[in-house]
Amino acid sequence: MADNWSECPRCGSNKVQSVSKWLLSIALFLSAGIFIWIPFLWLLIPIVLVLSAIFFVLAFFAKSIWQCQDCKHTWPKS
C-alpha cells in the first residue's frame, strides 16, 4: 500500500491495492517468449514485441490506479 491510500469508493472496503502501470507491457513481452515454443505462433512474436514496446512508452504517460480486491473496482490515484 502507498502513503496516500484510500478506501474503495464503491463498496468501502479497505482491501485496496495499487496496480502497476507496467503490468500490460511486461505481460506482452513475456508472452512473446512463450510463442517461441509453439511453431505456428512464431509469426506473432514481432507483433507482440512491437505492442509491448508501444505499451511500455504509453505507461510513462498513464496514471497509476487503485483496485479494490473485493469488488474489483478501479479508480485513478489522486
Going from N- to C-terminal start, the domains of the chain cover 16-76
The residue assigned the cell 514481432 is 46
Rounded to whole angstroms, the Cα distance separating 73 from 68 reads 5
Judged against a pLDDT cut of 90, whether residue 33 lies above it is answered with no
Q: pTM, whole model, 2 decimals?
A: 0.56
pLDDT over 90 for what percent of the chain? 17
More reliable by pLDDT, 13 or 62: 13
Q: What is the pLDDT of residue 49?
A: 85
Over range 12-33, report the average pLDDT: 83
More reliable by pLDDT, 61 or 13: 13
Judged against a pLDDT cut of 90, whether residue 10 lies above it is answered with yes
Rounded to whole angstroms, the Cα distance separating 10 from 75 reads 10
Most distant CA atoms of the chain, gap in Å: 48
